[in-house]
Amino acid sequence: MHIDVAWLEQVDYLVAWEQQKALVAERIVAPDLTNKLLLLEHPPTYTLGRNGRLENLLLTEDELNERGIAFYQVDRGGDITYHGPGQLVGYPILSLKRVYDQPGLGMVQRYVNDLEEVLIQALAPFGIAAQRFAGHRGVWVETAVGLNKIAAIGVRIQRGGITSHGFALNVNPNLTYFNNIIPCGIQDHGVVSMAQLLQEPITVADVLPHIITAFSTIFQVQIHEGETWLAYR
């Protein structure tokens, strides 16, 4: 099975959300269409998932406007998170019934586990030993102050097993933006970035090939090497 990968650079959150909706709608009607993986960054944005609590946003509407930060309540799972420059965001648009030989009630759980594994494997070449944290979705790293989250995951599975939303990996974002929220509604654990752990410059472009390789391996898909792929390979 093939997948088309697109590196979209920085995209407004609403623009990317509408693009996802369009791709999902096409695949609900025609599930045999090629799977997609959209990779991008967003300008500073907070999003609150459908199960989230608004009190986990610590800024007023006026404060958001003053600081130029967008805020949207969206249809993914999970609570509140931040997106911004220096964070690698991935939106897989997949037909899980095609990806998995035996789709069923455990399909969503398996999908989220696989997304976590993609991130864990992509971080390994940088010497970052990422892990899961029982009871908490996403990918975590042990630090001097305990487990901190390096990647968030929030997905939506629609009719026919078509996925949208996805993951956000902290490569080198400005982490102070996380001070304005209770990330994912978790007060006892903070966030961390690759740049913070490595103590050296790193860019999203440095990480892209590793995400692509890990995604191809875990989901057993062949990457369609179009222009967008060649641009950063």
Could you give the domains of the chain? 2-230 (3.30.930.10)
**Predicted structure pTM score:** 0.94
pLDDT at 106: 84
Instruction: Please confirm, yes or no, whether 184 is among the known catalytic residues.
Output: yes
Yes or no: say if 40 and 16 are a contact pair by the CB < 8 Å rule.
yes
Whether 183 and 192 have beta carbons less than 8 Å apart is answered as no
Distance CA 136, CA 38 (A): 25
pLDDT of 101 reads 77
Q: How high is the pLDDT of residue 1?
A: 78
Q: Give me the pLDDT at residue 179, please.
A: 93
pLDDT tens series, the chain, 233 aa: 789 999 999 999 999 999 999 999 999 999 889 999 999 999 999 999 998 899 999 999 999 999 999 999 999 988 999 999 999 999 999 999 888 876 666 888 999 999 999 999 999 999 999 999 988 899 999 998 899 999 999 999 998 899 999 999 999 999 999 999 887 677 777 899 999 999 999 999 999 999 999 999 999 988 875 545 434 33
pLDDT at 171: 98
Which pLDDT score is estimated for 228?
52
79 by Cβ neighbours in 10 Å (0-12 / 13-18 / 19+) ranks as buried
Catalytic residue among 184, 202, 204, 207: 184
- Give residue 110's pLDDT: 93
Confidence (pLDDT) at 230: 38
**pLDDT for res 229:** 45
Q: Distance between CA atoms of 92 and 223, rounded to whole angstroms? A: 13
Instruction: Determine the pLDDT at residue 222.
Output: 86
CA dist list (Å): 199 to 168, 202, 207: 20, 9, 16
CA distance 69 to 43: 8
pLDDT score of 11: 97
pLDDT for res 188: 75
